[in-house]
Amino acid sequence: MVTVIAETLTIESFKEYGTIISPDEEISRLHSLEKGANQGTAIKLLQVSRVENGSTKEAPNWNLFRCFPQPHLNRAFAQGSNQGISHSIKVLEKHPCSSQTFVPMGRASAEVAYLVVVAKEFENKPDLSTLRAFTCLGNQAVTYGIGVWHAPMIVLGKQEHLDFAVLIYESLEQEKPEKDCVEVHYNDGDIYITV
């Protein structure tokens, strides 16, 4: 059995697994990133998240996911605090040829909205010794790097659902758009994340 305690998502804490889009954190580093835009009515932050493709047979595509909180996770969560709620991970997946970006839609920027679970690879399987979990705010988007193992999105909070706009490179073959997905399944209780 593996148990991991979820930590706060930051650009630095997630860098081994991919990149994130975290507006408040990026704004705090403005001295090196500032670029005026829209006739001075906006700030443009350059190159905040990398989108990658390792195949020439795929094209970028936007998908939508409407995700629902499981009953034990349908409660308010505070950033940086551990409420001791356990959640079992039953599958980890990776996309060997593409990064994958999840952009949450419709949550307050300061609200804990979802949980991401990631692991590095060892011998073509998830290396559970590198398993980490992160609580994410409503204005933080996550880009999993090519081949990074991750759990499906886990919604947190007292909401009916959370929508994600998802950018991924997918096969140009219409009958097999998701062939760049590998899954490993676990028994209930093999992996626990504590939020």
Summarize pLDDT for 46-70 with one digit per residue, the tens: 777 778 887 777 788 888 899 999 9
Cβ–Cβ < 8 Å for 70, 87: yes
So what's the architecture of 2-22+50-194 in CATH? Answer: Sandwich (2.60)
Per-residue pLDDT, 55: 72
Mean pLDDT for the chain? 88
Structure token pair of residue 193: 């994340």
Q: How confident is the model at residue 38 (pLDDT cuts 50, 70, 90)?
A: confident
Q: Write the pLDDT tens digit of every residue in 80-136.
A: 888 889 999 999 999 998 999 999 998 988 899 999 999 999 999 999 999 999 999
Cα 117–Cα 120–Cα 125 angle in degrees, nearest 5: 100
Picking from 58, 83, 65, the residue whose alpha carbon sits closest to that of residue 5 is 83
DSSP class of residue 52 equals -
Report pTM: 0.85
Give residue limits of the domains in the chain: 2-22+50-194
Q: Which residues contact 132 (CB under 8 A, 6 or more apart)?
A: 4, 7, 13, 17, 117, 118, 119
